[in-house]
């Protein structure tokens, strides 16, 4: 779905995992009369609560949230274009009630699909997809990623080697069109010069890397204390395929390996921390390519002062078009 009406104003708060996006967004939403549209590729799934750091019920009462718990984990076909359509509808609903849409999340693919006019013009082909699934069975996902690295290094670099769904899709696009997925504009390089689907103010949160990694490790420990293992066990008891995108998510994949006897619990927790740190590094690399983002150092100001600064920026931009 493409927007044809005059561009709606929105603000986006992006950044790596564990940098404080949710806490800041709640404060900003209260100051700006905003409702939050999640841009998180794991929070869309029901039942994946602790590992995705979903806002609590109390936080959702403080500021209405959209695009959370909208897909069952059994759904293996939920796509970026479907997310975009749902987010477009949520933004239209929010604006139609006189509220302000605030997009918050660290899934760069979702954010860019929403904000920029991406090309989803190569339709999926069942026969080609089936052939790729046969050529690269689940145990050979690393080999599929290596093949993608040969034909489309830009896309391979932005995907985790275990992100089977998107690796196969990228190979499918290449096999169908003879062109790398990145050539369609979906690698988001050079976004600073491309028109936006919305009149969007882009705000990024960052901090010194060592501090971010400390926060990641501490958050994983809190997740384990909050019952992440029990949440993963509940998913395992439902008999869901380990190949589902939801179950390949950070935290769940490693704990399901533990429950399957592939590693010890300390090894699984250590792997979650390591993979989350790597993920945060990729997130920062992704967002830093977008010249429209205005960056704020989370560690430079107390949380309340930072929220005031960001809210003031949004209010001035909304009311007077200030976008320096």
Q: Where do the CATH 1.10.20.140 domains begin and end in the chain?
A: 126-184
Give per-residue pLDDT as tens, 2-16.
Answer: 444 458 999 999 999
pLDDT band at 193; cut points 50, 70, 90: low
Mean model confidence pLDDT for the chain:
90
pTM, entire model: 0.84
The pLDDT, as a whole number, for residue 207 is 96
* Helix pair 108-115, 80-96: axis angle to 10 deg: 60
Give per-residue pLDDT as tens, 259-313.
Answer: 999 999 999 999 999 999 999 999 999 999 899 999 999 999 999 999 999 999 9
Give per-residue pLDDT as tens, 123-180.
Answer: 788 888 888 988 898 888 989 999 999 999 988 888 888 888 889 989 988 888 888 8
Q: What mean pLDDT do residues 34-44 have? A: 97
pLDDT at 321 over 90: no
CA angle 60, 57, 226 (to 5 degrees): 130
pLDDT at 204 over 60: yes
Question: Domain spanning 126-184 has what CATH number?
Answer: 1.10.20.140
Question: Do the beta carbons of residue 42 and residue 68 sit within 8 Å?
Answer: no
Q: Nearest to residue 232, comparing CAs of 45, 48, 46?
A: 48
Q: Nearest to residue 98, comparing CAs of 34, 152, 166, 165?
A: 34
Question: Which long-range contacts (C-beta less than 8 Å, at least 24 apart) are formed by 130-136?
Answer: 132/168, 132/171, 132/172, 132/175, 133/168, 136/168, 136/171
Q: Where do the CATH 3.40.50.300 domains begin and end in the chain?
A: 9-116+188-320
Domain range 9-116+188-320, CATH architecture:
3-Layer(aba) Sandwich (3.40)
pLDDT at 187 over 60: no
Q: Which residues pair with 105 in a beta bridge?
A: 14
């Amino acid at each position: 779905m493409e927007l044809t009406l005059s561009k709606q104003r929105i603000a986006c708060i992006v950044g790596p995992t564990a940098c404080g996006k949710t806490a800041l967004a709640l404060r900003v939403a209260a100051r700006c009369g905003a409702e939050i549209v999640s841009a998180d590729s794991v929070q869309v799934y029901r039942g994946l609560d602790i590992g995705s750091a979903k806002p609590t019920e109390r936080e959702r009462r403080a500021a209405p949230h959209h695009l959370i718990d909208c897909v069952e984990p059994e759904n293996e076909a939920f796509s970026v274009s479907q997310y975009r359509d749902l987010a477009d509808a949520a933004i239209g609903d929010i604006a139609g009630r006189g509220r302000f849409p605030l997009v918050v999340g660290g899934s760069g693919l979702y954010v860019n699909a929403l904000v920029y006019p991406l090309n989803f013009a190569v339709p999926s082909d069942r026969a080609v997809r089936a052939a790729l699934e046969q050529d690269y069975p689940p145990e050979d996902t690393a080999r599929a990623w290596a093949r993608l690295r040969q034909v489309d290094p830009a896309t391979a670099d932005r995907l985790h080697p275990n992100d089977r769904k998107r690796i196969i899709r990228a190979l499918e696009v290449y096999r169908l069109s003879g062109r790398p997925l990145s050539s369609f504009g979906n690698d988001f390089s050079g976004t600073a010069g491309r028109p936006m689907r919305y009149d969007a103010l882009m705000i990024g949160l960052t901090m010194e890397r060592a501090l971010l990694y400390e926060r990641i490790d501490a958050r994983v420990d809190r997740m384990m204390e909050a019952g992440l293992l029990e949440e993963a066990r509940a998913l395992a008891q439902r008999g869901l395929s380990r190949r589902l995108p939801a179950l390949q998510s950070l935290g769940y994949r490693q704990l399901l390996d533990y429950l399957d006897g592939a590693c010890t619990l300390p090894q699984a927790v250590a792997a979650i921390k390591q993979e989350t740190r790597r993920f945060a590094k990729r997130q920062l690399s992704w967002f830093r390519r977008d010249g429209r983002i205005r960056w704020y150092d989370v560690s430079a100001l107390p949380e309340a002062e930072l929220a005031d600064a960001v809210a003031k920026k949004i209010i001035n931009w909304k009311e007077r078009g200030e976008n320096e």
